[in-house]
Every structure is written in C-alpha cells, then in structure tokens.
Amino acid sequence: MRSGILCLFVALCAASVGGQDVNSEIHPERLRPQGERYEADVPDTLDLADRARLAVHGLSSFLNPDAQFAPYGHTYFNANPPYMSDMPGGPPNWGKIAESLLMARVMSGSEENLEVDAKMLAGMLASPWMTLNPVAPTPVSRAMLALMALYQLDPNPALKNRIDDMALAHIRAARPAGDGMFFNNEMPDRRETALGVNGTWMPVFIQGSAIRPLTRWSLLAGNAPCMDLASKLAQHLLNPELWVPEAEPKAVVGAEHGHFAGHHHSYTQGLLGLLYYAEAARDARLKQFVRDSYEYMRNFGIGRIGLFGEGCTTGDMTLLALKLSRAGVGDYWDDADQYVRNHLAELQITGAEKLRQACTAMPSGRGKNDTTQGAFDPANETRDEVIERNVGVFLSDGTHPTRIPELCFLYTICCTGNCTPALYAAWESIVTCEDGLSEVNLLLNRASPWLDVDSCLPFEGKVLIRNKTAGKIAVRLPGWVDRAAVDVQVNGQAVTPVWLGKRMLLQTLTPGDAIHISFPVAETVEKYTLKWKQSEFWKESTNPGNAWEPLKEPAQYTCRFRGNTLIEITPRDEGNGFPLYERDNLKQPGAPMKKTTRFVPQVLLKW
C-alpha cells in the first residue's frame, strides 16, 4: 500500500522534487498584514487581538539572528540575570514559532519587526531539521503547518512545491504496520521520569503531529495521497495498546474511549490529529472517540480554568474544545471560554515590569532544571535584553494556580508554539459566518468583516454588536446566563429574539444596526482540590510516578468567578516565583473603556 501511495504522489508532484531556492518561495513584502484599520472606542476587557500584538513582539524578538533567526529553545527566568539558551529545543520547534507568528500578525495587523519574518522562514527552510527523520518527522510536520498558513496568504507555486516535497517525505518515511502505517512504534515506557510516567507518548505524539498537516494539505491542495497516508496513520494510532489507562472501572473498555496513561500533551496532539482526520473523512465513530478522550482529560488538574499540567496542554485542550464544537461533535464553547479567559491568558507574559520583579529575586548562575550546568556559551546563549524580548510569549508551567515557583519559572519553546495557535483559533471562532448567517460564539471583543463585538464581561453583562453586513445573527450566550433575564435591543428598540437552545436568533437586520444585549453576571464561589505536589516540577503525565503519593491533605483552592472569569483564588502560594491571577482590577463595577485601532484582515487563516 505504501508503494502505491508513493507512486501516485510522485506522479502528482515530480516537478517539485529536488528542493527550491528558499528566497523564491517567500515574498517579504507580501508578508505585510493586509486589511482594514479603523479607530474605535471599545471596552478595555480581554482582547485577543491585543494579546496577538504582544505575541508578535515576543515571537519576533526572542530569535537568534546569529543562527538564521532560529528560536531559542528555553528561557530561564529562574536565574538572575535570566538567559535564553538553544540547548535544547529551538530549531526542532521552528515550524511552531513560524506558524504562530503568521497567525498573530493576521489577528493583530502588527508590523513590528516585519523584516524578521522572511529571514526566519528562510532559515527554517534551510535548516537540517527539514531533512525528515523517518523515526520522528515532527519538525517537518509542524513546518508544513507554518507553510500552509503562509500559502493561504501568498499562494505561489514554489511554496506549493515545497509543501508537496514535505508531504512526499512523510510518505517515503512511513512504515507499514498491519493495515496501518507508522513513524514510531515504541513499546510503552513505564519508567519514572521528572515529568511522570510517559507511557506511549512518543508514537502518539508523532503520529498525531503528522496526521494534522497531511489531512489539512489534502483539503487545501486536493492532495489524495496525503489523505490516504493520514488514514493509515490514524488506523495505527487507534491501536488499543496505545490507550491503556493507569486504572479503569471493571466494566469500562478504556481503549474504546480514549483513556490512556502517559504524557498529556502527547496525547492531546494525537487527539488533534485524529479529530482533523475524522472531520475530513466524516468518521462519526472516530469523532466520538476523540470526544470521550477529551472529556477524560478534563478530570486532570482544574479543568474549570484550563489548568492541565503544562502550557502546551492548555493550548491543545483549547483547540480541541473549539474544533469539537465547530465540528458539531459537542457543545464545548463554555470550556473554550473558560480556558481562554483564565489559564491561556494568564500564562502569557503581558509586561516587562512584573517579570523583572520576579527575576530580580532569583539566584545567580544556572536556572533550576537547566540540565547543561556548564559554562555560559555565548554562541548558543544570551543574556541580552531577555526580559524585554520575551514579553508576549507563554510560560510553560500550567500546574500552579496562584504562583509559578522558582523550580518551574522558565519558558520552553513548544508552549508558545501551541498556545499562540490556540489563541488564534479562539479569536477566529468568536465570530463566524456561513450561508448568510453570522454567529457570535464567544462573548469576547472582535472586529470582523460581518460585525464587531464589544464585550463588557466580566465587569458587567453588556455586549454591543455593531452590524456591518449581516442579515441574520445568532448569538450564543454562556451556560451561566439566565435566559429569562436577557434584554435585547436593536437601535434602542426592545426585541424578542427566537431562541434555539443557548443561541438567540436575530433576523431582518440591516448594516449599521446596533444590537445591545444585557443580562446579570452570575458570581459564584467554587472549591477545587489539586492533588499535584506544588513543590515539584510540573507533572505532565496522568501518572506522576509509580512511587509518587499525593499529599495527605492536598491543596484545595477557593475560586471566585464572574461568569467564566476567575477573579480571585485563595489560598495564595508563597515563595519566589511568578504570581498568577492578580485580578483585583476585574472586581470593579462597570467596564473601563479605551480607544484602539481595530484590524480586519483580508484573509482569515484556516486552522
């Protein structure tokens, strides 16, 4: 079967094999964000476009200009002064950062450091990591996603040829396994590590990371061999030996429901690959498998705020919630709203001063969990403006709910590479439009071609929709909203919408209509027990270790929410580190306002 796929693909893209001049594939000026810009007075509440503007700064500043603008692999903030290091992790994750930067520019329209983009992309394409390793093709798989984003912005033939080459390399490298195919087929690893028992993390991660770009390229470019390989990889990924949980009720067959023991982020990457393939193949049973596994994952950490062990998993779970909801597999819009408003937003470094204060209290020398512990290497490490250059990236420890401790106070490149695409997917999903119906799925600020959303949440239950082109708008209200208490006005006149579950339908609208929606904000106090030891490095696996035992009295946190936004959490953890959820500003009555430049891109990236 592999030879059949390979022959067909060679016939389709033989002219592309042999490599390209990287400069012919990238047009620097065409990387400039194109779209409409205008001034607006909006509520000064969570704005994902503003967060993307910060991300552009970090993504384009933390690169190494002396290494073809490759990203550094780690930043150690638990050292004074902090430093960035390329040992290890940078270049293998190059594609994640390239995709993230392209997405962040589309969201925000930011042109900061625009001259960096083409150099960074060219460096990535010339990197030895783009020579596919048949055991672990993930660097090429993630680079494919980046180039597909670029191709949507600049669909030139040379770029298509390069993506075809990458897909062909995947096909050549895949190995048969029964009726399926695989890149890595390691047996489960039950050894204890600093991150827990990783289980079958490697094959799940690698297969899932490859299935997603192969499926998406088959849809974007009509590439049938890519879909065929994705099908074979998915078949192998469903091997019951890869889905064995640490423990299971006697009457439950966990392998049929996506239950597992192992590294969280690896399995969520596997689930993303399966879900993308299931949607493209219209495989209802596989969609159900992913949904079951997603819900299984929500039992770890504090799902209410998106705390799952590491930043990568927060990003992955956000993508899964959005993708499952968009695919009609379930209604997880509230899940996505909770993750975005809380841990996804909280893990992003939004200012230099708070970071500087935390770094000042750190000891000199190598940071904790830096395995090198050697002399400082100027060729691969830097202390140059580290704090300022990292504003906008995402911290990696997603385990601690009130303070990232010194032990975990670092940045690992993959987290920003997974959190930023989740930020993009959430932003793009706020407003969607299909067949003449515009839908508002999340009550967050957003400028779009069809309408603009001004949200006063969590300060008050007020949302203003400024209609541009929509004739019909469906607005989904969060699950905590009392439908009977909702007031809707169009141009100052009370209207009675048609309700379809949690969505209210407004029809016969005209451009320029102002739609005001108001409702009481529910304030709740909830308690969550976190069994992970707060004194250890973050746990990334379902089984933290065979010899590990939870504390006799694990920490229980009291959480105060306004709607889906955590505004207070106690008790507060003490000691050196980076404080989280300092949100007294969200307790005031009435939303503050600000003047901003809104950006509506000409092209929305498919994700």
Task: Classify residue 531: in a domain, yes or no.
Answer: no
250-280 confidence digits (pLDDT tens): 999 999 999 999 999 999 999 999 999 999 9
Q: Which of 285, 302, 323 is the last residue of a domain?
A: 285
User: d(Cα 550, Cα 538) in Å, to the nearest integer?
Assistant: 14
Angle between helical axes of 157-173 and 138-153 (0-180°, round to 10): 160
Between CA 569 and CA 595 the distance in angstroms is 31
Q: What is the pLDDT of residues 150-180, one digit of tens each?
A: 999 999 999 999 999 999 999 999 999 888 9
Could you tell me if residue 330 is inside a domain?
Answer: no
In a domain, 480, yes or no: yes
For the chain, percent of residues with pLDDT exceeding 90: 83
Last residue of a domain, one of 263, 285, 307: 285
CB 334 within 8 A of CB 375: no
Question: Dihedrals φ, ψ of 87, to 5°?
Answer: -125, 100
What's the Cα-to-Cα distance from 294 to each of 258, 271, 308, 577, rounded to whole Å?
Answer: 8, 8, 12, 31
Closest CA to 299 of 530, 68, 100: 530
Range of the domain at 230: 1-31+132-285
Residue 443 domain-assigned (yes or no): yes
* DSSP sequence for 223-259: -HHHHHHHHHHHHHHT-GGG---S---TT--GGGTT-
What confidence tens digit (pLDDT) does each residue in 52-91 have?
A: 999 999 999 999 999 999 999 999 999 999 999 986 678 9
Does residue 368 lie in a domain region? Answer: no
Q: Does residue 270 lie in a domain region?
A: yes
Q: Are 413 and 97 in contact (CB under 8 A)?
A: yes
Q: DSSP E strands: which ranges in 67-201?
A: 70-71, 74-76, 83-85, 175-177, 180-182, 189-193, 196-199
- Whole-prediction pTM: 0.95
CATH number of the domain that residue 488 is part of: 2.60.40
Distance CA 245, CA 409 (A): 30
Whether 374 shows a pLDDT value over 90: the answer reads no
pLDDT at 330 over 60: yes
Q: Give the bridge partners for 570, in sequence order.
A: 558
Domain stops at, among 257, 285, 313: 285
Question: Minimal CA–CA distance to 446: which of 472, 423, 480, 421?
Answer: 423
Q: Give residue-wise pLDDT tens across range 429-452.
A: 999 999 889 999 999 999 999 999
**Residue 415 pLDDT greater than 60, yes or no:** yes
- How many folded domains does the chain comprise? 2
| Separation CA 234–CA 242 (nearest Å) | 12
Across residues 281-304, what is the average pLDDT?
97
More confident residue, 27 or 448: 448
Cβ-in-10-Å burial (0-12, 13-18, 19+) of 71 comes to: buried
Tell whether 172 is covered by a domain.
yes
Closest listed residue to residue 444, CA positions, set 434, 433, 432, 456 = 456
- Preceding peptide of 571 cis, ω within 30°: yes
Residue 314 maps to a domain: no
Mean pLDDT of 342-360: 97
